[in-house]
Structures are given as structure tokens and as C-alpha cells.
Amino acid sequence: MQPLAVPGPSLNAVTIPDLMSMVSLSKALKLKNRKVQKVNSLRSKIHNSNSVLMGSDPDFLVADLYPELQKELADLWNLKARINAANVPVHPLIYEMAEIKGQITWLNSLNTARGKQMIGYMQTEPQEYVAQMDAAHVAAEIDRLQVRIDDIQDALDRHNATVQIEID
């Protein structure tokens, strides 16, 4: 194993095995999610066991868990970096999908009130509202955007299934 210097106050060195295996990006994304769960679990155990009443035994020894957390974090950022590098060709699609999802969220919050309505508890007479984009138009636009999201997701799924990356 070759040592890899990792900058940071508490990380001294991380080792990268000489033998790495190839997996699909889909598999790597699943592994990343498991690593995130592991990191969160270790953080929770450390958080809950760090300070206990004098004379009480902690559920976990922080001195044992913290080095494991450091290793898991180093593995996680390394895996994320590999995934990110493999995703460079589809970054425009990823960004487009994120913006479309934001647009859908915004459209769902758009006030499409029309006609006479009593809005507000102090009103004594209905007010007439005119919507420049009515609810039907908003719904049609959301449907159109959702089709584009589905197309992008299909392309990303193909990319994730066919691209291979090395992992530890």
C-alpha cells in the first residue's frame, strides 16, 4: 500500500490499496450512500458518547471511534472525487435537471388565484384577481418540465450503468 498524505489537522495519512476494483458508477453511488450512512452513524455515536456523567460508562469509546470516522471520511471524499471525475461529461445535464426541479418548485408556489375571492380575514368584500399564468398553464408547464427531467434521468441512468470507476 502506498501512503497518501492528506492535509488537515487530524488526518495524518490514508493508504490506498495497490489493488483497486472497477465498478459501475451506479454501484459507486450506492457505496457512497452507504459511506455517508456510516459516517453519520459514527458521528452520532461519538456525539452521544463523548460526554457522560462522571462514573458512568459511555456506550462507545470515542478514542476507538474517532480514528474510524477519520478513515471513513477520507474514503468518502476519495470516492466522491472519483464519482465527480466520472460525471464530468454529464455535469451540464445534472445542472440542468437541478434548475428544472427548482423551476418546478417555484411554479408550484406561484399564486394562480383568479376571479372574486375573499382572501384575508379583515376583508368585508371579495377582491377580483387576475392571474397572468393560470393554474392550467402552470400545470402544463410543470408537465412539460417533468418530461425533460425524465429524459435527463434516463441519460444519467445510462451513464451511471455504463461508466466504470476504480474503487478501493
Q: pLDDT of 61-97, one tens digit each?
A: 999 999 999 999 999 999 999 999 999 999 999 999 9
Q: Are 161 and 119 in contact (CB under 8 A)?
A: no
Are 1 and 78 contained in the same domain?
yes
Task: Give Cβ neighbours of residue 132 (< 8 Å, ≥ 6 apart).
Answer: none
Q: What is the mean pLDDT of residues 141-166?
A: 98
* In a shared domain, residues 119 and 53: no
Q: Which residue segment(s) compose the domain that 40 sits in?
A: 1-86
Q: Other CB atoms closer than 10 Å to residue 63's CB: what's the count?
A: 7
Q: Are both 76 and 3 inside the same structural domain? A: yes
Per-residue pLDDT of 99-149, as tens digits, reads 999 999 999 999 998 888 877 777 788 888 899 999 999 999 999 999 999
SS3 string, 111-160, reads CCCCEEECCCCCCCCCEEECCCCCHHHHHHHHHHHHHHHHHHHHHHHHHH
Left, alpha or beta for 79 (phi > 0: left; psi -120 to 50: alpha)? Answer: alpha
pLDDT tens-digit map of 9-41: 444 444 444 567 999 999 999 999 999 999 999
The predicted structure's pLDDT at residue 38: 98
State which of 26, 52, 86 marks the end of a domain.
86
For residues 77 and 99, membership in a common domain is answered with no
- Domain boundary among the residues 86, 110, 145 is at 86
Choose the final residue of a domain: 86, 114, 130: 86
- Residues 12, 77 within the same domain: yes
162 and 115 in one domain? yes
pLDDT in tens, 43-64: 999 999 999 999 999 999 999 9
| Alpha carbons 58 and 11: distance in angstroms, whole number | 25
| H or E element, residue 77 | helix 62-86
Q: Are residues 40 and 97 in the same domain?
A: no
- Domain identity same for 5 and 64: yes
Helix (H) or strand (E) holding 3: strand 2-5
Looking at the structure of the chain, the number of domains it has is 2
In terms of domains, do 14 and 65 share one?
yes
